[in-house]
Amino acid sequence: MLACAEGTPLPDGFLFGASTSAHQTEGGNTNSDWWQLEHRTGTPLAEPSGDAADSYHRWPVDMDLLAELGFTDYRFSIEWARIEPEPGRFSRAATDHYRRMVDGALERGLRPMVTLHHFTLPRWFAERGGWTAPDAVGLFARYAEAVEPVLREGVRHVCTINEPNLLATLTADAAPAPGLPLPDPELTATLIAAHRAATAAVKAAAPALRTGWSVANQVYQAVPGAEEVAAAYRRPREDVFLEAARADDWIGVQAYTRTRIGRHGPLPVPKGAELTLTGWEFYPAALGEAIRHTASVVGDVPVIVTENGIATHDDGRRVSYTRGALEELARALADGIDVRGYFHWSALDNYEWGSFRPTFGLIAVDPRTFLRAPKPSAHWLGRIARNRVLPL
């Protein structure tokens, strides 16, 4: 691919959109384990999700805006707790709801990427031990079979599990920031098995579907002399999940910032560095490094950027961050790396797992009226999506 005077043209068929997840935007997800955690006495979470962005009812507005802005793709998740509110009892109404979302996306010219699991679980599943239960893999595969009506027509890409390397830390002891706790080995094996079982179930129903999962890329950078430490730190927290994708149709990259590794492990953010609302270092180059590392591990598996963005109240900084990230993406494409898509996180300001304060959205949402208002960054990124040319 050659760069033109205006930038780097996108390959034919390149996916360009924004992402959301069900629990963070829908509201009223009362049958999920996260709803239970949010309302538990003494919960560590700052506030509950409540109505979130009310996207369960307002998804047509969300899709209208994305299409009008110029995006061609939309990644959203379906909520297991709605599909299967009780063990073995599947809701036809919930299945029909998500099928309408798929049809609605297609009617607006948006290609839907559907995620089956984005952090939340049905309460009944969590109460049985969640992913640690002996039949967890079979139950997840059964759920994947049950959503066949949602996926069978018009959906091309399915993400089985969002950020399994974060899920695998749920039984680990809390670790001081920065860095991730060490994933539980048994939970890691279970999630890999669940991904493969769900992939088999989905493809049995619709063989043409392209399946994969998305990994939370931490962009581990070794300071001089700490290369072996960084490699040892990275392998159980990231690489084992990338290696599990070598037989998949695509691998999702989700990158926001970097993690510097010294001789004794993760280092704090450099003194004086700009921080986002999540306390992460403003580091747009993370995307290019994540793409390159992922490609080096998975080999010929195509890469899709399923999340990349910044939590900030300054939308100008969002544009600056995203411009830098897209420049890194353009360089990766120019170097021959097989990147098939880019999804910004997120389409909407939403519930960020305990608080509405970190605003990642391209579209602002009024918490009282739910009025949607695209930010300047949404118009800027939408023009890139429409023109199909990345900044140099």
The residues assigned a catalytic role are 163
Quote the CA–CA distance of 218 and 207 in Å, as a whole number: 32
Q: Which residues contact 231 (CB under 8 A, 6 or more apart)?
A: 222
Nearest to 212 by CA among 254, 178, 175: 254
Chain center to CA of 202:
19
Q: Which residues contact 232 (CB under 8 A, 6 or more apart)?
A: none
CB 232 within 8 A of CB 220: no
Stated as kind and residue range, the H or E segment containing 18 is strand 15-19
Nearest to 46 by CA among 369, 279, 357: 357
CB 118 within 8 A of CB 21: yes
CB 120 within 8 A of CB 79: yes
Could you give the angle at the alpha carbon of 358 between the alpha carbons of 355 and 363, nearest 5°? Answer: 110
Structure token digits, residue 370: 């739910």
Quote the CA–CA distance of 209 and 153 in Å, as a whole number: 9
Q: Looking at this protein, which amino acid is placed at residue 325? A: A
Collapse the DSSP code of 324 into the 3-class scheme (helix H, G, I; strand E, B; otherwise coil) and give the result.
Answer: helix
Quote the CA–CA distance of 332 and 15 in Å, as a whole number: 16
